[in-house]
């Protein structure tokens, strides 16, 4: 199996990405198990942050690295929290605090539509001049009451009208097919197959 460092210690992300990349014979190694510290995320876009994290993990490990930067964008809030989704309620905020702040800020808004964004960056080395980069979106509505226990982050409040479920109510295998991260990984896998001259 090919070793691939994942520039994340988020258990939910690790589990989703491991499941999606296993069929391609990748062994996904969370950076924390190698003692790699978390990278800075100074940029204003998901793509720039993902690439910075991937290069950081590859430099520290000497291995190919994959990073994602993802978050939720509420349309009535000028796409906030965006790249600050994981720390929306403060640098060390947890999911509950972040969700509470988002719901509070949307309390007087009639437009509750939002979308998740996932940007993925895969580098073969820290100075890879041709990283693989993918960015995808997943659209839904923010609801006040949490529903479901399968997801993480904003999933219990991210409602999908066409399915009448929140992201946290979906079966993990179903979520992996349709989520922002699932879409991004599917596109990344397609690009990997093309790059490696494998059948799609």
Preceding peptide of 81 cis, ω within 30°: yes
The tokens of 87 are what?
Answer: 């720390």
Task: Judge whether 20 and 37 are in contact, CB under 8 Å.
Answer: no
DSSP one-letter code for 200: -
For the chain, where are the E strands, in sequence order? 2-6, 26-30, 65-74, 80-81, 113-123, 132-142, 158-160, 165-166
**HSE on the CB side for 130, CA within 13 Å?**
3
Tokens coding 69: 């930067």
Q: What are the residue numbers of the active site?
A: 69
Q: Which residues contact 69 (CB under 8 A, 6 or more apart)?
A: 41, 46, 47, 49, 50, 53, 83, 118, 119
Please report the sign of the dihedral spanned by the C-alpha atoms of residue 69, residue 71, residue 74, residue 75. Answer: positive
CA of 105: how far to CAs of 40, 41, 72, 109, in Å? 27, 24, 14, 8
């Amino acid at each position: 199996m090919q070793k691939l460092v994942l520039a994340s210690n988020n258990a939910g992300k690790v589990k989703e990405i491991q499941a999606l990349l296993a069929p391609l014979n990748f062994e996904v190694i969370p950076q924390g198990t190698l003692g790699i510290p978390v990278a800075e995320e100074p940029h204003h876009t998901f793509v720039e942050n993902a690439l910075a994290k991937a290069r950081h993990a590859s430099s520290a490990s000497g291995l190919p690295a994959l990073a994602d930067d993802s978050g939720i964008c509420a349309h009535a809030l000028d796409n906030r929290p965006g790249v600050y989704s994981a720390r929306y309620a403060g640098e060390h905020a947890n999911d509950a605090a972040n969700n509470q702040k988002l719901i509070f800020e949307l309390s007087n808004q009639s437009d509750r539509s939002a979308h998740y964004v996932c940007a993925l960056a895969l580098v073969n080395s820290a100075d890879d001049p041709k990283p693989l980069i993918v960015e995808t979106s997943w659209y839904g509505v923010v609801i006040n009451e949490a529903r479901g226990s399968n997801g993480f982050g904003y999933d219990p409040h991210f409602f999908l009208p066409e399915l009448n479920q929140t992201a946290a109510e979906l079966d993990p295998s179903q979520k992996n097919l349709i989520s922002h991260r699932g879409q991004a990984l599917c596109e990344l896998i397609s690009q990997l197959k093309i790059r490696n001259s494998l059948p799609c």
